[in-house]
Amino acid sequence: MTSTKPYLLRAIFEWAEDNSLTPQVLVNAEYSGVEVPEAHIVDGQIVLNIGSSAVRLHVMDNECLSFSARFSGVEYDIYLPMDAIMAIFARENSQGIFFEDTGDDSDPDPDKGSKPDVKKVEPTPIKSGEGAKKSSHLKVVK
CATH topology of domain 5-121: SH3 type barrels. (2.30.30)
**CB-based contact 48:25 (threshold 8 Å):** yes
pLDDT tens for 70-92 read 999 999 999 999 999 999 999 99
Q: Provide, rounded to the nearest whole percent, the portion of the chain with pLDDT above 70.
A: 71
Q: Which candidate, 12, 22, 92, places its Cα nearest to that of 53? A: 22
pTM: 0.71
Q: Which candidate, 94, 93, 140, 137, places its Cα nearest to that of 115? A: 140
* Cα distance between residue 95 and residue 27, in whole Å: 16
Q: pLDDT in tens for each of the 142 residues of the chain?
A: 999 999 999 999 999 999 999 999 999 999 999 999 999 999 999 999 999 999 988 899 999 999 999 999 999 999 999 999 999 999 999 999 999 875 544 444 444 333 334 444 444 444 444 444 445 556 666 6
